[in-house]
Structure formats: structure tokens, C-alpha cells
Amino acid sequence: MKNQLKTLLLLGVLSVVLIGIGAALGKGFLIGALVLSLAMNLGAYFYSDKLVLSMHGAQEVSPREAPGLHRMVEELSARAGIPKPRVFLMNEAQPNAFATGRDPEHGVVAVTAGILEVLDERELRGVLAHELAHIKNRDILVSTIAAAVASAVTYMAHAVGLFGSMFLGRDEDGEEGLSPLQTLALALVAPLAATVIQMGISRSREYLADQTGGEISGDPEALASALRKLEAGAMALPVEGRPATASLFIVSPFAGMQNILSLFSTHPRTEERVRRLLDQSRRMPAARGWSGSALPFAR
């Protein structure tokens, strides 16, 4: 509940930033930005899963091709009370996973080839529970709303930077509007503020998915162990490009890159996620609901 409230608060702050810019620039800018961003993000909402899966070369696998993976997804989906999502495999060495789909009826879980090599069955079960938690919590909807508002903020900030000197000298009543310095500050600060708020939303979603995933699997400690291994894998096998999809993955694909991307990480610190999961585990009956082994499983 705490993370859900934080997400709502951050969405509210993002909306206030948008309204504030609109008030400063005029109704025309606000309406235009909203229409454009909503149109773009409605398309992303309905087709984002296909786009993301295509970007990562993910291929759907059948129960015959990956019986162990499908067995766990089916069991955990039943525990989560959602339809079983489609299962995809990415031919990538870095151990990682993500979920997508606009609602539980269109859910998708995708894992890399690397994660099947690095994690044992218990840990993989914890990761899958985390991804199913994203679907159960309808995180794609939250992120789409956030993206729509943030896009509008960025659009208006760019408009200010490009056309501010021509259109922002006076308001509708002929009085002096924004000064050149105010125009420059707005053009620079607004998109940065939107990015920071989106980071906060993404991090809150990860904490919530960790908690919900621990409840679904009944084994938060396994997810904590998996997160340690996955971060080590991301550090050892950094990837290039595709920063737009980084927030979807259970750990940042760019964990091993010491550059500007690390300053704008969409993920909380793994140490804090592990701490919270271990605290959750101590409050639960030992490995509740887990009856399998910790040995590698058949794909």
C-alpha cells in the first residue's frame, strides 16, 4: 500500500508540473501537448508488447519446447489469480527478464537464455513471480499514464526552447510573459523534472513487484538470491543500446556501465531490494508454498 500511494503521489506531482507549464505558456500549449502525448502513448499502450519483444528478438516458446518454464508460470499464475501469460525467450547472454502486456488478459513474460543458465529452479521461480506481479498490479497501465504526462511535459519544454522567443514575449492580455532567462530555465528543468519523477514511479513499481512476487511465490528469500545473481550477471555482461526498455527488466541491463545512464537508473539499489525481501521472508512461514528442489530444471 505504501508503494502504491507513493506512485499515485508521484503521478500527481508529474501532473502538477504539466499543469504548471501549461499555465505559464497558455492554454493552447497545454491542450496541444496533451493531445499529442495521449495519441502517442495510446498507440504504445496497445502495441508496446509487440514492439519491445521485437526489439529484443524474443521468440514465443511452447510448453513442449520449455516444459519446466511453462510449468512454473502456470503454477504461479494460478497462485496470483491471473490468466497464464504467453512465454517468450530472448537469445541474450545477460541473465534478465521482463513482463509486458496492457492487462492480465494480454500478459507476456520474457526471459533471456542467460537467466536459465545462471539461476536454479527456486530462484527462477522467484523471478517469474516478480514478473507476474507486474502483470497482476497492472504496472503497464501506470507506466503508460506516466509516460503520457512526461511526454507532454517534454514536448512543451522543447517547444519553449525552439519557439519561446517568438511566442512567449506576451500573454493573451498583451502583458509581459516569460523572460528569456525564465524561458531557458523552463526548457531545461521541465524535462529533467519529468525524468526524475518517472524514475521514482519506476522504482516504486519495482519495490511493489518484489513484495507482491514474494507473496505469490511464498519464498521472498529466493527472489533476493536471484537479484544478487542477476546484478552480478549484468555487471559482467553489459549490453549496449535500448535504454528506452531498461525499466521493464527486473534488474537494469546497464548495471555494469559507468556512464550518464547510471545517474538516471530506473531501478532501486539491489541491496535495498534484498533487504526488504529478507525482512518480508522473516515475517512469513518458511518457504511457504515451495515444494520443489533447488536443482537446475528442464527448460
Residue 134, marked binder:
yes
pLDDT at 253: 87
- Condensed to tens digits (0 to 9), the pLDDT of residues 178-225 reads 566 666 666 677 667 766 766 766 788 899 999 999 999 999 999 999
In residues, how long is the chain?
299
- Among 131, 215, 221, 231, which one carries the catalytic annotation? 131
Residue 181 phi/psi, 5° resolution? Answer: -65, -40
**Mean pLDDT for the stretch of residues 151-164:** 63
The residues, any chain, with a CB within 8 Å of residue 62's CB and separated by 6 or more, are 70
SS3 86: strand
Q: Residues 281, 217: contact at Cβ < 8 Å? A: no
Res. 29: pLDDT tops 80: no
pLDDT at 16: 65
Q: What band does 139 get if pLDDT is binned at 50, 70 and 90?
A: confident
pLDDT at 156: 66
Res. 151: pLDDT tops 50: yes
The residues, any chain, with a CB within 8 Å of residue 63's CB and separated by 6 or more, are 70
Res. 33: pLDDT tops 90: no
Return the sign of the alpha-carbon dihedral for residues 94, 95, 101, 107: positive
Res. 262: pLDDT tops 60: no
More confident residue, 112 or 163: 112
**What does the angle CA 96 – CA 101 – CA 104 come to, to the nearest 5 degrees?**
110
**Mean pLDDT for the stretch of residues 124-145:** 87
Residue 144 corresponds to which cell in the numbers above? 503508460
40-54, 139-153, 244-258: which has the minimum mean pLDDT? 139-153
Res. 143: pLDDT tops 80: no
Q: What band does 296 get if pLDDT is binned at 50, 70 and 90?
A: very low
pLDDT at 294: 38
The rounded distance, in Å, linking the Cα atoms of 239 and 249 is: 13
**Quick check: is 92 catalytic?**
no
Q: Where are the domains of the chain?
A: 2-282
Q: What band does 291 get if pLDDT is binned at 50, 70 and 90?
A: very low
- Condensed to tens digits (0 to 9), the pLDDT of residues 64-119 reads 999 999 999 999 999 999 999 999 999 999 999 999 888 899 999 999 999 999 99
2-6, 258-262, 291-295: which has the minimum mean pLDDT? 291-295
Q: Considering the entire predicted model, what is its pTM?
A: 0.74
